[in-house]
Structure 1
Amino acid sequence: MERRNEILETITDKPGITFRELARELGIGIGDLQYHLRKLEKEGRVFSRKTGKRRYLFPKGFEEKAQRLLIAISTETRRRILLLLMEGPKNQKDMARSLGLSQPTVSYHMNELIKLGVVTAEKESRSVIYTLSYDPELIARLIKEYRPSLWEKLADNLIDLLTSVGDGE
């Protein structure tokens, strides 16, 4: 029971944590974690959402809009895309160039973000323009509240960027 409470507490503190991350963080074997999660799900204290090959865990009653966003920011590439889109709508070619990624890679991640409802796509002549479906302030609040280490990393990146701009003068 103590182990189960530890699992529940971690999921509550880090909603959207993946099954594998949770196992690693708590040092629990896969079978043991599966057992306790089944019990917690039957009790209605947690639920999971499977997207692609990953299983994301949330505490009971966690807002769906926030679920989708936390799933979206769970991978580095999607976080980078969302941060880029916070500047405004972009097409795939511009995003690929800005992020140093291939267009097929950007396309794959954009399709995943569209499925989650985090981004919308609108055809404009020969290209597709992608726009955030969420208010950038909500994205920033969720990152700051539920992924503080990510927030610190983003702040460090901003400081590095500002420092490099200042050195160029």
Structure 2
Amino acid sequence: MTHREEILQYIYKNPGITFRRLAEELGIGIGNLQYHLYQLEKENKIVSKKLGGKRYIFPKEFEKEYEPLLIAISNETQRKILLLLAEREMNQREIAERLKLTQATINYHMNVLNKLGLIDRRKQGRNVVYSLKCDIEVIVRVISEYRPKLWDKLADKLIDLMLTLKGGELND
């Protein structure tokens, strides 16, 4: 298998992988990887999206509607924010307190999530209240399908959250 075929195969298995992570995981030099990605993009086999100083790489046929979600869940803070908003809508202060981060940090991530089209914002008095735009079940499916390692870590938390949202209980 050629380097380029190996890179393409890895992108198919890990859609939305960042450029740096791809280089690290495949052990390929930056310049070499840039060359192969350029060729793959020219051959119309991959697409890349730049956001927040990072380059995210997807197979050409990847479902466009899931690209923003994969970009967001690849960032731990944004993933945590999405999961918090799946519980209920919150303002920036509440999110900052729950995640034990500064409001400035939360503001940055909320702007990214807004730019990705994953959250809604509405003014409520002096506060801006954020809510999730996408369905939690879609988040669960995307994580389990495209990020199995992450899924293993989050499975119990997500199952509990879904049960809470559905008002159900597990019957033994």
What TM-score, normalized by structure 1, do the two folds share? 0.90
Q: State yes or no: 1:35 paired with 2:35.
A: yes
Pairs within 5 Å for 1:62-141: 62-141=62-141
Shift of 1:157: 6.0
Q: Deviations over 1:56-88 (max 9, x none)?
A: 000012122200000011111111111111101
Q: Is the 8 A contact 2:85 2:131 kept in 1?
A: yes
Read off the aligned partner of 1:13 and give its amino acid letter.
K
Q: Is the 8 A contact 2:140 2:158 kept in 1?
A: no
CA RMSD of aligned residues (A): 1.5
**Structure 1 vs Structure 2: percent identity of aligned residues?**
58
Shift of 1:158: 7.1
* Runs of 5+ unmatched residues, structure 1: 160-169
* Runs of 5+ unmatched residues, structure 2: 160-172
Q: State yes or no: 1:53 paired with 2:53.
A: yes
Match of 1:13 in 2: 13
Q: Deviations over 1:110-148 (max 9, x none)?
A: 011001101111111111110111111000100001111
Read off the aligned partner of 2:52 and give its amino acid letter.
G
Match of 1:162 in 2: none
Match of 1:149 in 2: 149
Aligned residue-pair number: 159
Shift of 1:103: 1.0
